[in-house]
Structure 1
Amino acid sequence: MMPQDINVSAAAVIEAAWKSGVMVATAESCTGGLVSAALTGIAGSSAVLDRGFVTYSNEAKIELLGVTPELLTEHGAVSESVARAMARGAVARSRGAASVSVTGVAGPGGGSVAKPVGLVHFAAVNPAGAVVHIERRFGDIGRDAVRLESVRVALGLLLQAVTA
């Protein structure tokens, strides 16, 4: 169902999490659950994937992940600080010890000069509680392409978190 390289990355995350005994969670906005879908496409994923939060609206980010309204007002949903808060919230509100979050502007609309189409923020929490952030500017390459590239980055970041 997913491109082969994504399947390979998802399998690597599942294997590493299983070997480490680490449960994981995802917090997704612009990818709409595609990271979780990639992980659940791998046999054995139920042993390590606790849950995925699809928090497309600001209200969902607040209610499900505990992102504060003030953070959203001050920085906007597509920001480093919100990505970090989403990743922390996914761990706090699941049985996961590691998580990854994705929030961005997939397009074709919704972009601005400050936050153009293709801007995506990622964060991951490792079992020790350390948070890592990555920003990518994929450009206006099309909605599907932005979302798939985001899945690739998120899986790589989650693999690093699980093996940290």
Structure 2
Amino acid sequence: MGKAALEWTDEMLALLGQEKDAVLAERWGTSAKTVNLKRNALGIAACGLVHWTPEMQAQLGTDSDAELAKRWGISKASVVAQRKVLGIASRTEKHGSVFVWTPEAVALLGSASDAKVAEQLGLTRLTVYNARQARGIAPAARGKASSMENPEQQ
């Protein structure tokens, strides 16, 4: 004989869409598919699914994907995917504002964490990481004071 059917309580139903199906399934001792089918049958969106408003869609391509994602509390991948679905060019594609690595900008690579350099230059951490890697520059030492960079000062 198979497993007994899951008896859905009001509390369980209230949690649908609030957490990932797999998390709820494990908690309730059932499969993620069972939770998914029930959630879909009730027309409840999956946890983490972005509900794109017309206002959000209107902002796509007006600011960097990373900045929009941060503003809305969603992943950059979600922003990129929605922008592409709608055929909207990125801000960079629209304005041709590809970052130019000046000698001053390159000098910042490895001087602080990639995140700090990215913030300073208005780029993503991944862009800074890739630029640093491409130039063979080591990452900044963790936990070292700036005076440690010049041992002669000690």
Q: Please confirm whether the aligned pair reaches a TM-score higher than 0.5, indicating the same fold.
A: no
* Structure with more relative contact order (C-alpha pairs < 8 Å, separation 6 or more): 1
Structure with more of its chain in strand, by fraction: 1
With the length of structure 1 as denominator, give the TM-score of the two structures: 0.28
Structure with more of its chain in helix, by fraction: 2
With the length of structure 2 as denominator, give the TM-score of the two structures: 0.29
